[in-house]
Amino acid sequence: MFNKICLLLLLVISQTISAETGRAPTADQVNAGKVLYQRYCVACHGENGVGEAPIPDTIRAPGYFTAMPLDEQSHAWHHSDEQLQETILQGLQRTQRMPAWKAVITPDQAALLVAYIKSLWSPRIVACQGPRHMSCM
């Protein structure tokens, strides 16, 4: 009984936390996000979010990470909109390659960037985004 209550609470909480996760963005959001992406992200994450080519471990500097793909070929869609926005704004501690953009862009602009990123995914992937990715596939 306790396990069922915990599972029910987890489902309710995860739906609340990820209110926009799993929903396709509007065309206006995508267009505005694409402009921001071209300005701030394309240099590392590439056209259409393909990311950088991997560097073999034998020649890669220790601690160097290539920019991950943001399209369906990587795991960006495993994260909620909120998590993706947080990564954009706060950066990643494990690498300086993904800097914090919070001094440059607003949270609303980070949301638009996420909208553009989501436009690179198929409707099936968008529907499975975030916590649902474990049960959709």
Which whole-number Å values give the CA distances from 31 to 17, 37, 45, 87, 134, in the listed order? 25, 10, 17, 21, 30
- pLDDT band at 49; cut points 50, 70, 90: very high
The per-residue pLDDT for 137 is 62
Mean pLDDT, rounded, of the chain: 85
Nearest to 132 by CA among 70, 85, 81, 71: 81
Residue 68 is encoded by which pair of tokens? 């991950």
Residue 104, domain member (yes or no): yes
Residue 111, domain member (yes or no): yes
Residue 16, domain member (yes or no): no
Residue 122, domain member (yes or no): yes
Residue 8, domain member (yes or no): no
Per-residue model confidence as pLDDT tens digits over 78-134 = 999 999 999 999 999 888 889 999 999 999 999 999 999 999 999 999 999 998 777
Which domain, by its residues, includes 116?
Answer: 27-54+61-136
Residue 9, domain member (yes or no): no
Task: Name the more confident of 86 and 2.
Answer: 86
Which CATH number covers residue 104?
A: 1.10.760.10
